[in-house]
Structure 1
Amino acid sequence: MTLPATETHPGFDGAPLAVHRMGEGRPVLLLHGLFSDAATNWIKYGHARRLAHAGFEAIMPDFRAHGQSAKPHDPVAYPPDVLVRDTFALVEEMGLTDYDLVGFSLGSRTAARAVIAGLEPRRLVLAGMGLEGLAGWNRRSAFFLDAIARFDAVKHGDPAFMAVAFMKTQKVDRVAARLLLESVGDTDPAELEKIAMPTLVLCGAKDRDNGDPVKLAEALPDARHLEVPGTHMSSVTEAALGDGIVDFLAA
């Protein structure tokens, strides 16, 4: 298997962000989920390889506070919408002008908010996301902030158990993760009309962690919904997720 090449690019404030690249062709910027990284979301289960084989270049940053990217503990490094600011910085730094944008979970929130703020990809994929995950993020964020606060006390059977287990697997820097979570705000549903490019809302059949994907697709000007097998966590492991992305972007 071809391994991705890893580069370092500056975030909005110069913080070093790891960016992994695989394939040659039309650029696709892929944004991973909370507590995850490019390797877990896009590389491990073959989604980046599927894109590369279909003639795309998968460009996969690790968000700040994640993966191989910087994990500053200074609150100044986490202004409101810091991930959107970093995404704009990467698009400019890498000279991306004609590209597609794909997100999963927190990556989908970031992608949607970046488009609302003025980013203009040709096509957009919002995976692992429903309407309430954009418009009701504060409730979702509070769940993860509570999991971080109770990290050492969470036991099996606790609603936060899976989140804490994933954080342990990913060796999450909890100080940086908390600061990052506090930088992310809600999205006004009225702003969704600004997402005018063709959009695929891609979600696991048993995934409602971020709300209703059908309602999200209906709220967007030019979107359709595609269901793949799995829950929020397991849908990432499904080949159907990568196939759905490739089919939509290649159409």
Structure 2
Amino acid sequence: MAVHRLGEGRPVLLLHGLFSSAEVNWIKFGHAQVLADAGFEAIIPDWRVHGESDAPTDPDAFPSGVLVKDAFAVVEALGLTDYDLVGFSLGSRTAVSAVLAGLAPRKLVLTGMGLEGLTNWEKRVAFFVDMIDHFDEIKHGDPRFIAKSFMKTQGIDPVAARLLLTKGVDDIDTAELAQIAMPTLVLIGDEDRDNGSPQRLADALPDARVETIPGTHMSCVMKPALSEAIARFLSD
């Protein structure tokens, strides 16, 4: 796994979204720098199959819950004990699973995520697997075209991606969300409901609130409001 680091201070682990990378999600548009300027050390892994990390095509490289295992591996390898945790989209989903599995950040930020995004993984997987299986047939105007284009632009290996999607991500029991006790910010674009209701997600958590920023699921990543809101919450 490639792990990118920027700044000095309180560690904040940033988990990127599906088919994205540390560079695209957190570095390119200045979010890691905003956090570094606010006194944090941004620690940003590339998930396996993404960015500068390896993209194995051996099914044995994708045990159940592999992204959660990778998140634990980063925390343990860097000796993180007092840190914050931030995820975007699939990164948020993985952050929730990792906290339920035992990670204990001081604060949690879930961006690009609603309650239904934690519960309908099988449906989401079916969409992306269908896109991969019909990759060469998909043309402009097809509902799968944007996902195809983003995956192609990021140089994602389709075989490795299919294995990750179908083998490496587990379901989440939303009844367990009551166990997530740390202060949590559910941060969402005002035009983003790709993963369902952010308010329902916040309501399911013991100590959470919703904050809205400008943008869709994709465009909010390009706006400074994303990292400004994260920095404010983590600095309180």
Q: Same fold (TM over 0.5)?
A: yes
For 2:234 and 2:134, the matched residues in 1 are separated by 41
User: Aligned pair 1:195/2:180, yes or no?
Assistant: yes
2:197 to 212, 224, 236: 212
3-state DSSP of counterpart to 2:68: helix
| Count, aligned residues | 235
1:178 to 151, 159, 162: 162
Q: What is the match of residue 168 of structure 1?
A: 152
3-state DSSP of counterpart to 1:152: helix
3-state DSSP of counterpart to 2:14: strand
Is the CA contact (8 Å cut-off) linking 1:98 and 1:122 kept in structure 2? yes
Structure 1 segments unaligned to the other structure (5+ residues): 1-16
Q: Which residues in structure 2 correspond to 1:57-72 (within 5 Å)?
A: 57-72=41-56
Q: Which residues in structure 2 correspond to 1:224-235 (within 5 Å)?
A: 224-235=209-220
For 2:212 and 2:133, the matched residues in 1 are separated by 34
For 1:159 and 1:185, the matched residues in 2 are separated by 25
User: Aligned pair 1:33/2:39, yes or no?
Assistant: no
Deviations 1:165-217 (A, max 9, x none): 10111111111111111121221110111111000000111111111111101
- How far is 1:138 from its partner? 1.2
Structure 1 segments of 4+ aligned residues over 4 angstroms from their partners: none
TM-score, length of structure 2 as denominator length: 0.98
Deviations 1:206-238 (A, max 9, x none): 111111111101111100001111111101001
Using CA pairs under 8 Å that are at least 6 residues apart, name the structure with larger relative contact order, 1 or 2: 2
Q: What is the match of residue 4 of structure 2?
A: 20
Q: What is the match of residue 133 of structure 1?
A: 117
Deviations 1:93-125 (A, max 9, x none): 100000000000000011000000010000000
3-state DSSP of counterpart to 2:203: helix
3-state DSSP of counterpart to 2:72: helix
2:129 to 137, 145, 154: 145
For 1:135 and 1:120, the matched residues in 2 are separated by 22
Q: What is the match of residue 79 of structure 2?
A: 95
Q: What is the match of residue 222 of structure 1?
A: 207
For 1:173 and 1:216, the matched residues in 2 are separated by 32
Is the CA contact (8 Å cut-off) linking 1:29 and 1:99 kept in structure 2? yes
Structure 2 segments unaligned to the other structure (5+ residues): none
Is the CA contact (8 Å cut-off) linking 1:132 and 1:211 kept in structure 2? yes
Q: What is the match of residue 230 of structure 2?
A: 245
3-state DSSP of counterpart to 1:85: helix
Q: What is the match of residue 64 of structure 2?
A: 80
3-state DSSP of counterpart to 1:73: coil
